[in-house]
Structure 1
Amino acid sequence: MLTRGAEWRRWEPHIHAPGTVLNDQFGGPDPWAGYLSALESRSPRIEAIGFTDYYVTDTYEQAVAHRAAGRLSDVKCVFPNIEVRLDIAAKSGFVNLHLLVSPEDPDHVAEAHRVLRRLQFNVLGDTFDCTREDLIRLGRRADPSLVDDRRALAHGATQFKVNFDQLKKVLKENEWARENILVGVAGGAGDGTSGLRQAADATIRQEIERFAHIIFASSPSQREFWLGGRALSIEQLRDGYDGCKPCLHGSDAHDEATVGMPDGDRYCWIKGALSFDALRQACIDPGTRAFVGTEPPGAALSSQVISRVEIRDAPWAATPDLPLNPGLVAIIGARGSGKTALADTIAAGCDAIPAKAWEAVGGVSASFLARARDVIGDAKVALEWGGGDASVTRLDGGDPVDPFAFQRARYLSQQFVEELCSASGASEGLVSEIERVIFEAHPRDDRDGAVSFAQLRERRTERFRQARRREVEAIDALSERIADEFEKEGMVAALTAQASHKRTLIAGYTVDLGKLVVKGTEAQAARHAELNVAVQRKTSQVQAFSNQRRLFVSLQDEVRSTRASKAPEMLRQTQARHPNSGLDAAKWDDFLLVYKGDVDKALLGYIEWADREIAALYGTPPTPAPDGVDLPYVADGADLASVPLAVLKAEMTRLERLISADQVVRGRYAALAARITQENSELQGIEARLLDAQGAGERRKQLQGERENSYGRVFQAIIGEQCALADLYAPLMTRLAASEGTLRRLGFSVARVVDAAGWGGVAEDRLIDCRRAGPFYGRGSLIRVAETELRPAWEAGDAASVQAAMSGFVANYAQAILAHAPVVPTQPVEFRAWSRDFSHWLFGTDHISVRYEITYDGVDIRKLSPGTRGIVLLLLYLALDDADDRPLIIDQPEENLDPKSVFDELVSLFIAAKAKRQVIMVTHNANLVINTDADQVIIAECGHHAAGGLPPITYQSGGLEDQPIRDAVCSILEGGADAFRERARRLRVRLSR
């Protein structure tokens, strides 16, 4: 037995034929000829028919005879549909019930009549059985003028009413009826249950609909209601109506024109074999087995469906040619029967086995093909696809495997699943697979040109991570400057003392200089001192211009370096951060940092200007006076500020000769005057440093404010990254929020992760002495403060609240921490190093990271057991991977799962997945075959092992509506018979075995 199993086929479950008891409008000399031709010519092709008549099976029996004579060759299943009227009034007439009789029993017609005979109608002082004879007798009793049997039969059929309670009792008590009759009820308003509109009728309507297996209705709203998608849920339907019901529809034709032509082309489709068991299966799985519409429900794209597998040049393949169903294909068999061999073979034909899977480690591999490589021979697999494509692949792995080649199917082999779900650190692989699905959930236009989740995440968060790095660098630089200002603050007292000392020293030198003045030269000495002050001022001006000139020369070096290396490197870094800008080299050149003005010309001009100023300050030394002539170089009333330095020095030298004729005294005088000049210069430097140090406190506070602002901006960047990551998950989160069942157990979270203990531990290890008395005495004291006062803001606060929390922490504890410092300010070198490290620690953010978690029942998947990870993996591929429409091949998805988890977690996922992609699974679990309503079951069987080769492997296939397949499922899969019985029990539907 090799079939594709359950496929959608058109049925006509409710159609009348020529000679029907009531309303027969089939005319002409040979109405059956036209009737049969109409059925044979209808499109879509009709392959199963329920010939309908009132209380009798005459037209059904005639149709069977015509089939035996060669008509209706495409129709593989015909069965009686016996229409009866209840004694319950509807909107127009009475409620009609349909008894659909299985044709499996050769004596089914006689047995059906035997059941009908037990239905009785008491009227006119007599009791009438539901038989042809009594219907005729009833017709004549009601209208004695009816002589013709046919007319009497028709009239009797209009009079006979079936008592609902009696019908239930008859069908319940008759074993044959329970096993061979399905009850249908019209759902319309005319002769159906919808016509029972009075409040008093509500209970009887519910009882009728509860009793029925099938609802004859064609509207989408009716179908949705009976599948639990409208006013009542599936659970409510199960409690009040014995479960969901399939909606069927027929043309209800009473004339040739409407044969097989229902209104609105609302055709009836049943998925399954052309057997009455397919109808039973539709009662068990109404949502997936029955449909009313122009076309059957869509499934996987035909181009993405493997329609046939052929194993060539393989003596061990006793069944080399297998058709495959486009829905859910279950491969079953005893252990070692060749189930995985088939899955591996199909996967190999789809290039879905990675290169490493062909390599058997230590001679052992989960792959059948890898284990059998040496004996596989020249075997090949040929695949035919629904779209017309075909391929041939070697089964020994001899065909080159391109790691970048597109795999035409996704194969979840046992090896692959174990790698992703093992407890030994492979969880990141599962995370990567989930991230791939999240990436696929983003529309292509929203992917920013990224080709992977990691790349998209990088592009969405890089801006914020760069901002964080910039602010961290700014904090480091500010901390260095704050340390400098702290050091300067500590130098105020020392610089004040140095300045006082210098002033005292200069005063002493000045007194000493006055003692060297010869009597009578006091005026010259005073003039010399005056000139000395002017020289000092001029010298300071020259030094200032000289310093400026050195800066201008350094700026020239920096400009050259920036142009040659720094700016090009900055441009290269920018290009590396934005690789997908689309800018060519010429456009990127616009981003090269250049100076706004002509800095080369400007700097050259500044140097020349400084040189001119220096030269002007120096001036030209005066021409020495002739011997014997003593004329001053500087007039007494001259403005000394405008006299060049060289002239002032020449005048000082002239005066030194006049102050003392003694060469030695004159030398000492000149040296002491120079010393005074030097000390005054140093005093000016000290006073400048003192003035700078006195302003350090204010500058430090300003810098600390800037640092706190930068700290706040760090958290703005962290929060921005957090929001960007949350946006990445938004498409999937939206879907999960709207989903039900197992999908709702999967979740995602993005949060700031704070290691407050680690942050405080760094300080307690290296920066504070916990042995000193104070608020941070003892290990853990600082950590406790951080946990209570900083951690809440770090974890959940906005940038302003984090900044405020840190400001409060600094205000409250900075002095205390300084008191616990292992060094003191009197150790300037050590204290400066400590202060720098302390600032880096205090405003560091290395202990704060943004982490996203993928959770199942609130638990990070990295912490789940291997079995639960397996559920997540299957949830991923079966329910969430919408972008992947390729066939999904799974080897034993139930592995490591208990039976309850299989039923609770996987069954619904497989049902949903098979509606949109082809699913091929190897399984030992009865629930995954029966409760998923597998469309095709392939049964593997292995023969005796041949020495030096592979044993013969045989396959047979079909649908669950095929009794041989059900028998095999029950015998091979543990609990298979119980699963079948449990599914059919509540609907009183018999499935053989």
Structure 2
Amino acid sequence: MNDPRGSLWRKWDLHVHTPESLVQGYGANNDETWERFLTELESLPPEYKVIGINDYIFIDGYKRVIKAKSDGRLKNIDLILPVIELRLDKFGGTDSNLSKINFHIIFSNEVNPDIIHEQFLNAIKPGYRLSPQYEDIQQEWSGLVTKNSLEDLGRLIIESVPHEKRSQYSPPLTEGFNNLNFSYDKILDALKSPYFKDRYLTAVGKTEWADIKWNDHSIAEKKTIINDSNLVFISSETIEAFDKAKRNLTTSKVNDRLLDCSDAHYFNDALSKDRIGKCFTWIKADTTFEGLMHVLSEWERRVYIGDIPNKLNLVKNHRTKYIKGIKINKKANSRLDEIWFENCQLSFNFELVAIIGNKGMGKSALTDMLALLGNTSSKDFSFLNKQKFRDPKNNKSLDFEAQIIWESGEESLARCLAEDVPEHEVELVKYIPQKFFEMITNENAIEEGSKFDKELKKVIFSHVDEPNKLGCASLDELIEYRTEEIKDVINSMRSELKDINEKIIKLEYLTSEDHKQDLGKQLETKKQELSVHDSSRPTEIDKPIVSPSIEEAFKDLRSEIETLTSNITEAKSQLNRSVKILASISKIKGKIENLRRMYDNFVIESSEEFDKIGVKMESIARLDINESLIQQYEREYSNKQSQSEELIDRLENNKKVSEEKLYSLQSTLDEANRSYQHYLDEITNWDQLREVIIGSPDQHESIEYYKNALNESSTTLVDDLSKAKLERNSKVEAIFLEIKKLVNIYIDLYKPVQDFIDNHELIDRYQLNFNVSIIQQGFIDAFLSHINQSAKGTFHGTQDGRDKLKEIIDKYDFNSISNVMQFIAEIQESIEIDKRDSINRVKIESQLRKSFKKQDLYEFLYSLKYLEPRYILQLGGKELLQLSPGERGVLLLIFYLLVDKDDCPLIIDQPEDNLDNQSVYELIAPCISEARLRRQVFIITHNPNLAVVCDAEQVIAASINKLDKERVEYVSGAIENPSINKKIIDILEGTKPAFKKRESKYF
């Protein structure tokens, strides 16, 4: 039977004897026995679909079975094949206990039984000979082999032995048959008849064949018999016994296409293993002779010996993961005259479904609909898009709706083909459209958050053991959980880096040539001011005569004012010190408060984790802050501040009083003494002002201050800048080491999937690897957002600047700290020096956009926020973007077919576009064979070679009949189905004559 679902697993028992067999244990060959025999065949479990009816030498039993089938019996059996069993004139065992090799010819059910009798059985009968010990009887017995003549032979054999031994022999008919053997060569000659061309298979009995001794005389003949046979039959008591027998054949390096058969000679309630229904053989094929023929070329994949094939068991336990079929209908209210998918219904195989057809013939239409109904997240439909079936000007999709049926029997809600997948629907299928392969050539397609990045993480997460998922729902969530503390450390370091950058920027300014020039100009200005001041010294006046008492009074007042002035200066100095200390205390108190707040947050955030391990947080960490000393210092310096302020007020009042006394005393003098006293005041003020101009290193805007600043900018500040830069580099390295810790966590998370790859022989052969690499993410755009590309500089010009920056980036490996530091150094150097055609230094500020400051640039460049761990998929050591289109296609297919643990249906649209036929055969076919073991796979191809090489279980040939109102037609079945085979040849080779013509040229 040619099933539209293609090749399905069914039980095949190719060795069933009937009551007509010369040797059988059913009982008398009468109607009653036959009725029970047929009833037991009809009562076989539903998976039994093919039986081979065996007859020794004759075909009468087969005729009676197919007569019953034509009369309406055996409806449960799809295919009944005629099998002729003969005993060859090759012997095993010992001279005293000879065993005969059983040889089976399985004919196609399309060969008429009469043809088998006339053209085969009659052709081999002259080629018989008797067992060696009875060869002398040959002269007494000859003629055609019939049941009567065999019975005559049996009587002759029994009569040839002593009377006392005759009881040990079987009835004459059986004894005659047991000693009749046929020439192997005669059998093969008879099968050369044109009546049997491509319409038979041969099988040898393993048990009897094994009895032939391995010796110099028999080895060639023994190997020829089994190796020239298509199949080997055995009836095993257990599956373990079968496995042992197969291993023996494999070890002997001979044909090991071994099938377990019932070799039924008894009814199913017999104690013998050779009973109806005792068969472990499952075959995946159309229940046709062509199906059995096809199995020979795909033996390991299409034959299973055991209780139930793994795939059937998988489907049975996961019925919601397999699409059983699809219904597509035109809406009842449609006014569209074209037919398209009207009343279209298809059933699917649960392994590999290959949808073939020439371009534009409706292949992608079917898979787009499956993807739409399966809630795909992809939007890249090849058929259901605005350029084709959803064309807004003539939107045919509005007139059709479809629904899928799952193996569980559940039917999806009918969805209009014009609808998109609603948001938040669970994705029930994985759809890899043709555009996806093209999209991956784009770098943006694999960056953080892209669809492929999400797929990559989903697959990695699926390989993580459940306990190690820590209750997280995704890889991103798990990464966030395991990296949270490290990221807090990095953020803390970046905050510290900000302070260092502020210090560096200040020191860079203080040590810059511009600043030195400013200081030099300020110093010259102050020196000039001193020179002017010196030239304005008050003219000296002779001291007039004054009474000693008045002079003494003036001296005391001036001394008193001078002392008060000095005390005020000292008091203000003390006040400044107290204010600074109190400011530091206030800052410390703020930091303590932040520490307390951080601790409180730590308690809140960690309480759940401590509860999980059953440990009280206080036993691990406790915050104990003693602020008493800080409070003591705060009180002390607050008092000192108050005391200083009170003292200054008192001293300034006293000074004011003394100055008023001096002024009052001056008013009592005569003109000469008043002028002299005024001179003394001017000299005092002049001296004080001169001291201010000269100043000290701590006194702003003084000569000594500028001298000291110039000296510092040349020595101390330069050293300070170097130290600050070293401190910054150390901080950058520390941040990088923390990023490396993130890498180690990433590596730990992808280890299970890498172990899976390393232990998977097929994947490992392709050198597929997961890796974690530190990459720059978005550096170009973020950096250039700071840069004024209109200004003259290395990165001048929108495209030229971008190209130059990319050229620098491409030189460095960001997994190396030395490379990272060199990269930062080159970027900074490229900002400070125009490297296009000169080495002229430029100001960083002149290269920045108006909205950015130097601090912003440093924060971006040195914080390493643009570096992050990223999972990388490699093929042969090369990353995705380094691969050729063909290699990229191979990598993606291996990824989705073998590494992805998702078990929902996988739909791949035309994966072969970038692959040659050799790559399809050597790389993709094995991957697809592996994938269909654990999930349903749909492949759309306009090259049926992919379906043939991959040995698809079901082939759906798509076509559009444009003469019949655009009717879309889908014809489905197994590769071995002649009509499907013709479709494959027509599409692949341009009809069979074209194929034959090419074949004649190739070979």
Query: How high is the TM-score relative to the length of structure 2?
Result: 0.69
Q: Does residue 113 in structure 1 map to residue 136 in structure 2?
A: no
Q: Tell me what 1:325 maps to.
A: 349
For 2:159, what is the secondary structure of its paired residue?
A: coil
Does structure 2 retain, via aligned residues, the 8 Å contact 1:53–1:83? Answer: yes
Deviation of 1:436 after TM superposition, in Å, equals 0.9
Aligned to 1:288: 301
Q: 1:421 to 1:55 in 2, by over 3 A?
A: farther
State the 1:59 CA deviation.
3.8
Tell me, which stretches of 5 or more residues in structure 1 are unaligned?
Answer: 584-590, 622-644, 771-782, 825-832, 985-993
- Structure 2 counterpart of 1:957, one-letter code: S
Question: Is the 1:226–1:245 contact (alpha carbons within 8 Å) kept by the matching residues of 2?
Answer: no
Code of the aligned partner of 2:289: F
Amino acid aligned to 1:878: L
Query: Unpaired runs of 5+ in structure 2?
Result: 332-338, 612-620, 795-803, 844-851
CA contact (8 A) 2:365 2:384 kept: no
Determine the structure 1 residue equivalent to 2:799. none
Partner of 1:882: 901
The correspondence of residues 350-749 of structure 1 with structure 2, limited to 5 A, is: 350-352=374-376, 364-365=387-388, 368=389, 374=395, 378-397=399-418, 401-414=421-434, 416-417=435-436, 420=439, 432-433=451-452, 435-443=454-462, 445=466, 471=493, 474-475=496-497, 477-482=499-504, 532=562, 536=566, 539-546=569-576, 548-549=578-579, 552=582, 605=635, 608-615=638-645, 617-618=647-648, 620=650, 662-669=673-680, 672=683, 682-683=695-696, 685=698, 703-727=724-748, 729-741=750-762, 744=766, 746-749=768-771
Partner of residue 35, structure 2:
33
Q: How does 1:149-160 map to 2 (within 5 A)?
A: 151-160=171-180
Amino acid across the alignment from 1:50: G
How many Å separate the matches in 1 of 2:39 and 2:291? Answer: 26
Alignment match, 2:10: 9
Residue-by-residue CA offset, 1:389-435 (whole Å, 9 max, x unaligned):
123525452x5741433344344455x44763678986779973364
| Cα distance change on mapping 1:613 and 1:225 into 2, 3 Å | farther
For residue 37 of structure 2, what is the amino acid of its counterpart? Y
Q: Secondary structure at the match of 2:499?
A: helix
CA distance in 2, matches of 1:261, 1:505: 131
Partner in structure 1 of residue 929 of structure 2: 911
Question: Is contact 1:140-1:152 (8 Å) kept?
Answer: yes
Q: Distance in 2 between matches of 1:378 and 1:754?
A: 49
Which of 323, 329, 345 is 1:306 aligned to? 323
In structure 1, distance between residues paired with 2:220 and 2:543:
136
SS at match of 2:966: coil
Cα distance in 2 for partners of 1:346, 1:842 equals 49
SS in 2 for 1:883: coil
SS at match of 1:285: helix
In the TM superposition, 1:768-779 aligns within 5 A as none
Q: 1:371 to 1:32 in 2, by over 3 A?
A: farther
Distance 2:306 2:525 in 1: 103
Distance 1:513 1:657, change over 3 A: farther
Contact 2:21 2:61 in 1 (8 A): yes
Any conservation in 1 of the 2:376–2:421 contact (CA below 8 Å)? no
Indicate conservation of the 8 Å contact 1:468/1:714, yes or no: yes
- For the 8 Å contact 2:15–2:52, the answer to whether it is kept is yes
Q: Separation in 2 of the partners of 1:678 and 1:377?
A: 95
SS of corresponding position for 1:945: helix
Q: Deviation string for 1:651-692 (max 9, x for gaps)?
A: 899899999984444455456556666777843735899699
Residues 541-562 of structure 1, C-alpha deviations (whole Å, 9 max, x = no match): 4323245337747987999999
Q: Percent identity?
A: 20
Distance change in 2, residues 1:804/1:153 (3 Å): same
Report the secondary structure of 1:685's partner residue.
coil
1:181 aligns with 2:200: yes
Q: Cα distance 1:438–1:281, how it changes in 2: closer, same or farther (>3 A)? A: farther
Conserved? CA contact 1:927–1:979, under 8 Å: no
- Pick aligned residue for 1:249 from 261, 269, 272: 261
Specify which of 919, 926, 941 is matched with residue 923 of structure 1.
941
SS of residue matched to 1:183: strand
1:991 maps to: none
> Taking structure 1 as reference, are residues 145 and 17 closer, same or farther at Cα in structure 2, changes over 3 Å only?
farther
Letter in 2 for 1:611: Q
SS at match of 1:683: coil
Paired residue secondary structure (2:572) = helix
CA distance in 2, matches of 1:573, 1:496: 54
1:48 aligned residue: 50
3-state SS, counterpart of residue 364 of structure 1: coil
SS in 2 for 1:402: coil
Deviations 1:605-651 (Å, cap 9, x if unpaired)? 46741333305644856xxxxxxxxxxxxxxxxxxxxxxx8779988
Aligned amino acid, residue 885 of structure 1: C
Higher mean Cα deviation, 334-343 or 453-462?
453-462
Secondary structure (helix, strand or coil) at the match of 1:50 reads strand
Q: Does 1:144 find its partner at 2:159?
A: yes
CA distance in 1, matches of 2:587, 2:953: 80
Q: In 1, distance between residues paired with 2:950 and 2:10? A: 20
The reply on whether 1:191 has 2:215 as its aligned counterpart is no
In structure 1, C-alpha distance between the alignment counterparts of 2:756 and 2:368, rounded to whole Å: 33
- TM-superposed deviation, 1:442: 1.0
Change in CA separation of 1:920 and 1:209 when aligned onto 2, cut-off 3 Å: same
Where 2:579 maps in the other structure, the secondary structure is: helix
Helix, strand or coil at the partner of 1:938: strand
State how far apart, in whole Å, the 1-side matches of 2:490 and 2:917 are: 50
d(CA) in 2 for partners of 1:851 and 1:861? 13
Structure 1 residues 537 and 323, CA, compared in 2 at 3 Å: closer, same or farther? same
Q: CA deviation at 1:192?
A: 4.9
Following TM superposition, by how much is the alpha carbon of 1:878 offset from its aligned partner in structure 2, in angstroms? 3.2
- What value does the CA root-mean-square deviation take over the aligned residues? 6.5
SS where residue 143 of structure 1 aligns? helix
CA distance in 2, matches of 1:840, 1:116: 96
CA displacement 1:455-495 (0-9 Å, x = unmatched)? 76677667666655654554453354356567878999999
What is the distance in 1 between the residues matched to 2:192 and 2:449?
A: 56
Moved more, 371-380 or 551-560: 551-560
Is 2:264–2:276's contact at 8 Å kept on the other side of the alignment?
no
Report the Cα offset of residue 713 of structure 1.
Answer: 0.8
More displaced, 489-498 or 208-217? 489-498
Post-superposition offset of 1:48: 1.9
For 1:372 and 1:285, locate their aligned partners in 2 and report how far apart those are by CA, in whole Å. 49
Shift in alpha-carbon separation, 1:488–1:256, aligned structure 2, 3 A: closer
Q: Which residue of 2 aligns with 1:862?
A: 881
SS of the equivalent of 2:328 reads: strand
AA aligned opposite 1:882: K
SS at match of 2:696: helix
After superposition, give the CA deviation of every residue in 1:205-235 in whole Å (9 maximum; x if it has no partner): 6544432322335676898899999988xxx
The one-letter amino acid paired with 1:433 is F
- Give the alignment partner of residue 953 of structure 2, picking from 935, 949, 952: 935
Aligned positions of 1:96-111 closer than 5 A: 96-106=102-112, 107-110=114-117, 111=119
Q: For residue 951 of structure 1, what is the aligned residue in structure 2? A: 966
Q: Give the Å deviation of 1:600.
A: 12
AA partner of residue 291 (structure 1): Y
Distance apart, 1:286 and its partner CA? 1.9
State the one-letter code of the partner of 1:329: V
